[in-house]
Amino acid sequence: MTDYTVELNNLIKFFGRRLIFNGINFSFSSRNVYGISGPNGSGKSTLVKIIADLISPTGGKVVHKYGERTIEPEDLHNYIGFVSPYLFLYDEFTAEENLIHSANIRGIKFNKERSDYLLGELNLFDRRKDLVRGYSSGMKQRLKFIFALLHEPQLIILDEPTSNLDNSGKEIVYKIIKEESIKNLIVIASNEDSDLHLCTEVIELEKFKKQTNK
Amino acid sequence: MKAFALYKKDWQSELRTRYAINALAMFILVTISVIMFSIGNEKITEYLTGGLLWVVIFFSAMSGLSRAFVSEEERGTTMTLHLLASPSTIFSGKLIFNLLLVFLMNFVITFLFSILFTSFIVKNIALFAIAFLFGNIGIAISSTIIAAIISKASSKGTLYPVLSFPILLPLILTLLELTKFSMDGNSISGSLVEIFVLICYDVIMGTASYLLFDFIWKE
């Protein structure tokens, strides 16, 4: 089984003059669940966005490796599954259409079998042909998991994975996290104790607030 | 193929939401009606009609083509696209969508001009077709990259025409010249300099857009 690793090398992020974090050095590897925690505004979402190459750090770099091969930024999206409250799917499409379009845009064949399996696992199979516009926030959150897992990514980033979910939704998500962690790398940004309970190691972002001369 | 899949997604989305099509259709209808009311029974020259054609096309492009990226930003789906494809795929997909929209829009505008304005007489149709083809490609490329830039700004509405004007001005001026030539019945060989300028504009804008898009797209 090929290992997926992510190395954070001296990451620094400023928003304007405000320091978010400074000097994060860390290494993530497959078959582990890592947590990122910290109070509101500590930069949890910012850090996961930087890991997913959605935004750039002010300093330092993130290196993604699949086996020995370093992944180029333009290919990174094929290896990452991302779930977050600020990720939105297309309201004017049905759940299934969203998944078909996402597979086509990725340039992979739509795997109906996997899609149906995930829709079933997350209790959305019966609503797969309904427009996302009519979904509740919890259903949208569950659909985001299917969107993130459909292409079988090696790195799964979950920013507040259980937001908007009821207890049964949370149980399903925890089951999926445990299953996926057998072969993949999972990073969870959250403050929920129950989410962080699943993690083998947790990064406390408050420790990286120290300002150095920039 | 990935870019074509993105275009298909956009087109299907457009058919359901009518973000751009309604804006373009209303704009074309209103501007041509206003021109006709203001002209009344006056006879206008061929050159003026040719000029008015590109004015309508320029402002129609302003009203509809920015939607390519602005609609993604407004719906919050920009990040979804980030997670699906590389920047070059996204730009290509949006460009294909805008090309289709520009060609559709400009066929309708040119058709309406040809039946509503008696002074819109093109003597060299081949020359006009060349100007139309490369002009539309230029408008689509420029509009797509400007749309990407303004989608990240807070004052989207005002910024689009402000940025478009200097970028599209050389294109519009060349197109005006070529339209005049085609109305005069000039030969294609006699208009090669303007055609070459048009092709160069498209190549330069296309290359610059692909090079710049990575920086514009990523926060």
Q: pLDDT tens digits for B78-100?
A: 899 999 999 999 999 999 999 99
Give how far Cα B136 sits from Cα of B65, B98, B106, B175, B217, Å. Answer: 12, 10, 8, 10, 24
E strands, A16-100, where?
Answer: 18-29, 32-37, 59-66, 69-70, 80-83
* ∠ Cα A19 A21 A22 (to 5°): 100
Question: Which of A71, A105, A146 best tests the B interface by mutation, with the highest count of B CBs <10 A?
Answer: A105
Is residue B48 scored above 80 in pLDDT? yes
Is residue A80 scored above 90 in pLDDT? yes
What is the token pair recorded at A184? 């993949």
**Environment class of residue B103 by beta-carbon count within 10 Å: exposed (0-12), middle (13-18) or buried (19+)?**
middle
Domain A1-79+186-214: assigned CATH number: 3.40.50.300
Give how far Cα B126 sits from Cα of B135, B172, B184, Å. Answer: 14, 19, 13
Q: What percent of chain A has pLDDT above 70?
A: 98
Whether residue B77 and residue A105 make contact (CB cut-off 8 A), yes or no, is no
Nearest to A54 among B5, B82, B86 (CB): B82
User: Residue ranges of the domains in chain A?
Assistant: 1-79+186-214
B89 vs A contacts (CB less than 8 Å): 105
Residues 53-82 of B with CB under 8 A from A: 75-77, 79-82
Is residue A212 scored above 60 in pLDDT? no
> In this structure, are residues B90 and A107 in contact, taking their beta carbons and an 8 Å threshold?
no
What is the token pair recorded at A127? 């609503």
- B83 in reach of chain A (CB within 8 A): yes
Q: pLDDT tens digits for A157-192?
A: 999 988 888 888 888 989 999 988 898 999 999 988
pLDDT band with cut points at 50, 70 and 90 for residue A67: confident
Residue of A nearest to B16 (CA): A92
- A137 in reach of chain B (CB within 8 A): no
Q: In which domain, by residue range, is B169 found?
A: 2-217
pLDDT band with cut points at 50, 70 and 90 for residue B149: confident
Residue bearing the bigger pLDDT, A208 or A97: A97
DSSP A131: B
Q: What percent of chain B has pLDDT above 70?
A: 98
* ∠ Cα B95 B151 A103 (to 5°): 55
Residue closest to A172 by CA, chosen among A131, A117, A127: A117
Count structural domains, chain B. 1
pLDDT band with cut points at 50, 70 and 90 for residue A214: very low
Is residue A85 scored above 60 in pLDDT? yes
Half-sphere exposure of A56 (CA within 13 A, CB side): 9
At A213 the pLDDT is 45
Whether residue B5 and residue A89 make contact (CB cut-off 8 A), yes or no, is no
- A171 in reach of chain B (CB within 8 A): no
pLDDT band with cut points at 50, 70 and 90 for residue B156: low
- A105 in reach of chain B (CB within 8 A): yes
Question: What does pLDDT average to over chain B?
Answer: 88
Is residue A96 scored above 60 in pLDDT? yes
Distance CA B81, CA B5 (A): 12
Locus of tokens 């001296």: A10
Is residue A116 scored above 70 in pLDDT? yes
ipTM value = 0.87
B88 vs A contacts (CB less than 8 Å): 74
At B132 the pLDDT is 92
Close Cβ partners of A103 (under 8 Å, ≥ 6 residues apart) = A109, A110, A111, A150, A151
